[in-house]
Amino acid sequence: MTQNIGSDPDLAPPHASNLVESLRAFGYDTATALADLADNSLFHQASKLIVHFHWAGEGSAIAIADNGNGMDEVTLINAMRVGSRNPCETRDPNDFGRFGLGLKTASFSQCRRVTVFTKRKGGVQLVRCWDLDFISETNEWRLLRTPSPLAAKLADKLSDPKQGTVVVWEKIDRLTAGNDTENDTDEDAFLRHAELVSAHFAAVFHRMMTGRNAVGFFLNEKLISPWDPFLADEAATQRLPVEKLPYKGHIIEVAPFVLPHLSKLDAELHRRAAGLRGWNAHQGFYIYRNRRLLVAGDWLGLKGWRQEEHYKLARIRVDLPNALDHEWEIDVTKSRARPPEKLRRELVRIGECARSVAKRIYSHRGSKLVPAEGEERVFLWEQMVKHNQVFYRINRDHPLMKSVRGSCADLPKLSALLRLIEETIPVPLITITDREKPDLTIGPFETTKETEIFEVMRQVFTSLCSSGLSKSDALLRLSHFEPFPRFPQLLQAIKEREEL
């Protein structure tokens, strides 16, 4: 029987002290959190943005300053409010936010005290601060009005004299808890975070850093250079036809690129084009919203595609309007996206075309490493004939086998294991299965991930080099070892790796 709860529902507001700690777990790292703050600066028409890392051991701080329009008092307090907007509301087409959480959750994820200084043109500077320790003590959402001496000092140093906003993070416990000002290792770790932020900004905001209305992004007074994942200015980059996909009254623009082969790039450009995560990890679709990068290379779960060596030259730009955030499952951290079901077929078609071109370019280069017809090949297994009987033995002269035998501490046991393997090959069963069910028989590495095949090839290559061969000779020998000639793209990957 349903209980009658009456006409007046009970109020059950969240506990401020508990909720604010939960808001720290939204999945940001330092770079993505600062990028979320930078979004606010761009929306408020900033033409210059400065990220400043201030080292002071456990008392270190991070600040981000802009010369945007600034805020009045009502706007500032609302911006500091948790859940300041309804994600279902229609937004300005140029707005980067959606949930009304970005400034707060991004900051809380990294620090326990965030102070915002802001000034409109012709106005006075306003200050508000969230201190999580104060919230925990009072269990109330009360904004402080007085900055700490360090926050005030950083704001004074970084503020644009006319207008703009400065956000200062203090008590950055996720980065510097327990750090010592005099410890060089702690300082180096702190500055490595700064370098990662610079690289992240170079990718996420690269399209804002160039062009007529370019925005200047700085890290500790050093200008951040853009990272163009598509090498659009390189003559050898292939631009495939741009497609405009209509969806629910909006247009999604898809522009596929196939990057040049290694031989067309100098070593420094090739290194830079690899990005933070390397060539393989950066292949696939690049999702942008308002020219701001959300996803830097991913096959979006389409057709079970994986990031494989011979598709690494394929990079596809996708431009979304912010009205489709929900349809593409854009999350609070702006680092994840998934296409709507109705668009998947079109994206697969475009992806297949780009992947095909990328593989053709890559394999054409790699095919030079494959031995010509008639050249001697090296096999792990040898067929032997004795007294008119056929049997099989493992090739003891195979370089990987020689390397293992040379480093083995118990050769008698290894020899016994090899002999046991050789004597128990299920030849009759293999023969019957191959004859009766030929479709069930697979070739070498046929269902193996390329990363695993590459590791096997790398170990053999290392063994060849250890035997005294030069790298070029070892690579040539490797190309004669079965079944490696079946994977020219991986032979090419090893060659490129050694060249770099």
Give the per-residue pLDDT at 374.
Answer: 52
66 and 146 share one domain:
yes
Structure tokens at 323: 């009205």
Q: Does 94 have pLDDT greater than 70? A: no
Q: Does 359 have pLDDT greater than 70? A: yes
CATH number of domain containing 284: 3.30.230
Determine the Cα–Cα distance for residues 68 and 44; give it in Å rounded to an integer.
Answer: 5
What digits encode the pLDDT tens for the residues 362-394? 876 544 555 555 555 677 888 777 777 778 888
CATH number of domain containing 190: 3.30.565.10
Give the per-residue pLDDT at 5.
Answer: 55
Give the per-residue pLDDT at 397.
Answer: 82
Full residue range of the structural domain in which residue 483 is found: 381-499
Q: Which strand (E) or helix (H) includes residue 245?
A: strand 243-247
273 and 216 share one domain:
no
66 and 190 share one domain:
yes
Give the per-residue pLDDT at 450.
Answer: 86
328 and 433 share one domain:
no
Positive or negative: CA dihedral 308, 309, 314, 316: positive
342 and 398 share one domain:
no
Determine the Cα–Cα distance for residues 491 and 166; give it in Å rounded to an integer.
Answer: 51
Average pLDDT, the chain: 87
Q: Is residue 229 part of a domain?
A: no
- Looking at the chain, the whole-number percentage of residues with pLDDT higher than 90 is 53
- Mean pLDDT along residues 399-405: 83
Determine the Cα–Cα distance for residues 274 and 280; give it in Å rounded to an integer.
Answer: 8
Q: Is residue 376 part of a domain?
A: no
Most confident of 78-82, 340-344, 439-443, 463-467: 340-344
This prediction has a pTM of 0.73
Q: Give, in order, the Cα–Cα distances in Å from 400 to each of 101, 270, 478.
A: 56, 31, 11
Strand pairing category for 284-289 and 314-320: parallel
Counting the structural domains of the chain, the total is 3
Give the per-residue pLDDT at 22.
Answer: 83
What digits encode the pLDDT tens for the residues 148-182? 999 999 999 999 999 999 999 999 999 999 999 99
One-character DSSP codes across 453-500: HHHHHHHHHHHHHHTT--HHHHHHHHTTBTTGGG-HHHHHHHHHHHH-
Q: Provide the 3-class DSSP secondary structure of residue 156.
A: helix
126 DSSP 8-state letter = E
pLDDT higher at 472 or 118: 118
